[in-house]
């Protein structure tokens, strides 16, 4: 099994599809957002820096992201592949990631673009809630993603929270950065004949079926 890179605009369903792929193929789901939030849970200077950047909806400097990611994919559970959610975001990150893969002797795997309507994604993010304990994400307007018990995590029973950076104003900033920084990444992978595209505007099961067809395992 190869690793899988998912590319989509903010709130474009990367986390949802990653969770489904994790369950289907027993691969670790690596969200750089979760890595950064985990690294920010202390009182160090770098922790404060990460918190401020995430709150403003901006991208964290590459050297921080690359260090955290390299450490994560060298763990034993990544030996048979993994799912990358939210990385790479830029061509520079993609090139640095390729260098890490060569150093570690890992395959680049599948790069899958989730084509998503902007307004649909904005509505999703305004209604997105997550578990602060286990990290599972829910959505109050998407039937398949609603928690079974209102405001409670299905997995661990913790109270769900609405992240401070999940709001319309921050979304506009994040989406504009996506267009500026990530669209060239899409072209980069197209030029390398590594990019697969799926329609992400019907429902989560339809998107997942397309991804499974690409993977073919």
Closest C-alpha to 53, from 137, 164, 183: 164
- What does the alpha-carbon distance between residue 171 and residue 123 come to, in Å, rounded to a whole number? 10
Q: Give the CA dihedral 39, 45, 49, 55, nearest 10 degrees.
A: 70
- Catalytic position from the list 14, 106, 124, 136: 14
Give the largest Cα separation in the chain, rounded. 46
- Catalytic position from the list 72, 106, 124, 174: 174
124: annotated active-site residue: no
174: annotated active-site residue: yes
- Catalytic position from the list 106, 124, 128, 136: 128
Question: Is the peptide bond between 11 and the residue preceding it cis, with omega within 30 degrees of 0?
Answer: no
Rg of the chain on CA atoms, in Å: 17
- Catalytic position from the list 89, 106, 124, 136: 89
89: annotated active-site residue: yes
Cβ–Cβ contacts within 10 Å for residue 133, how many?
A: 14
136: annotated active-site residue: no
- Catalytic position from the list 37, 51, 118, 163: 163
Catalytic residue set: 14, 89, 128, 163, 174
């Amino acid at each position: 099994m190869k690793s899988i890179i998912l590319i989509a605009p903010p709130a474009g369903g990367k986390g949802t599809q990653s969770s489904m792929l994790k369950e289907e193929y027993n691969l670790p789901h690596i969200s750089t957002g979760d890595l950064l939030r985990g690294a920010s849970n202390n009182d160090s200077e770098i922790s404060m820096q990460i918190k401020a950047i995430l709150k403003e909806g901006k991208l964290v400097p590459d050297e921080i992201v690359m260090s955290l990611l390299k450490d994560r994919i060298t763990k034993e559970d990544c030996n048979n592949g993994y799912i990358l959610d939210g990385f790479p975001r830029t061509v520079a990150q993609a090139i640095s990631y390729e260098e890490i893969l060569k150093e570690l002797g890992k395959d680049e795997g599948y790069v899958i673009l989730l084509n998503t309507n902007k307004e649909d994604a904005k509505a999703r993010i305004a209604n997105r809630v997550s578990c602060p304990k286990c990290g599972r994400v829910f959505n109050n307007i998407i039937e398949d993603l609603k928690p079974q018990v209102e405001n409670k995590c299905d997995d661990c029973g913790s109270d769900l929270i609405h992240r401070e950076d999940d709001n319309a104003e921050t979304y506009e900033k994040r989406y504009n950065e996506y267009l500026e920084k990530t669209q060239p990444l899409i072209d980069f992978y197209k030029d390398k004949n590594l990019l697969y595209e799926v329609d992400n505007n019907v429902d989560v099961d339809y998107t997942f079926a397309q991804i499974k067809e690409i993977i073919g395992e």
